[in-house]
Amino acid sequence: MDSTDDTVEPALSPAAQREWEEHLEHVLRGVGHALNNRAASVSAVMELSFEPDQGGVPTRALLAAEVQRLRELAEVVRTVGLPRGAAEAFVPAEAASAARVVLSLHAELRERAIVIDATGAPPVRGRKWLLVRALVSLAADASARHSGAPVAITMREDGPWLTVAVNVDTGAAPPAARASSYVRDAAAALGGEPLPAALGFRMPTLAEFRRREGR
């Protein structure tokens, strides 16, 4: 895979494609459930608009809240749909925030305690949607390995790298843990690699990317 050519979409192995397709099915199930809830809420707000004001939340504010939730759902669909967008510079906290929303809709993971902490993580360059998906796959992998245990994913600077590592119950994942197919392929496409002694991966920071380009 060529992680330096912004015009070429990253190639994924059949195993990685199957892995993401499973996540996609679970996320779309969650989106469908959420859309039904939003439709019911909008209907209820519309009914309230014909009732005398009882001193509650104004109808316009309620509708605005529902519109915002619909926009969040639309962004989730864009994130998990067909690959889109070339590489860009961004802060990992943006990808972490998007991954949290996707996980909140994932039918198999939305009830799990999963934390993604990108506090202080340095800027990187790559396809943001790919990092979001890698975070979702990593969270799913860690959850499957440690059924019922809270999962924490930390995104931290480690020299020239942004390191993304899983911790479960405050203890590091076993050194023998091997990243899933999607995480391995995504890490390579982001210019990085799986972690050698923990469950996770790493990718170059923006500063390192520029250093390699001689900027």
At 71, list the tokens.
């926009």
Which residue would you say has higher pLDDT here, 81 or 149? 149
Rounded to the nearest integer, the mean pLDDT of the chain is 81
pLDDT at 3 over 50: no
4 by DSSP, 3-state: which?
A: coil
Tens of pLDDT, residues 137-179: 999 999 988 877 889 999 999 999 999 999 866 454 454 568 8
Tens of pLDDT, residues 17-55: 899 889 888 888 777 666 656 666 666 666 666 555 555
At 178, list the tokens.
């091997």
Tens of pLDDT, residues 59-77: 667 766 766 676 676 666 6
**pTM score:** 0.77
pLDDT at 186 over 80: yes
CATH T-level fold of 11-215? Heat Shock Protein 90 (3.30.565)
Q: How far apart are CA 44 and CA 38, in angstroms?
A: 10
* β pairing state of 171-172 and 200-204: unpaired
pLDDT given at position 196: 87
Where are the domains positioned within the chain? 11-215
| Partners of residue 204 on adjacent β-strands | 161
pLDDT given at position 70: 66
Per-position DSSP letters for 164-212, written without gaps between them = EEEEETTEEPPTT----HHHHHHHHHTT-EE-SSSSEEEEEBHHHHHHH
Closest CA relative to residue 169, chosen from 190, 192, 186, 145 = 145
Which residue would you say has higher pLDDT here, 13 or 69? 13
Contacts of residues 39-43 at CB distance under 8 Å and 24 or more positions apart, as own/partner, are 41/66, 42/66
pLDDT given at position 173: 47
| Least confident residue range of 60-69, 153-162, 181-190, 203-212 | 60-69
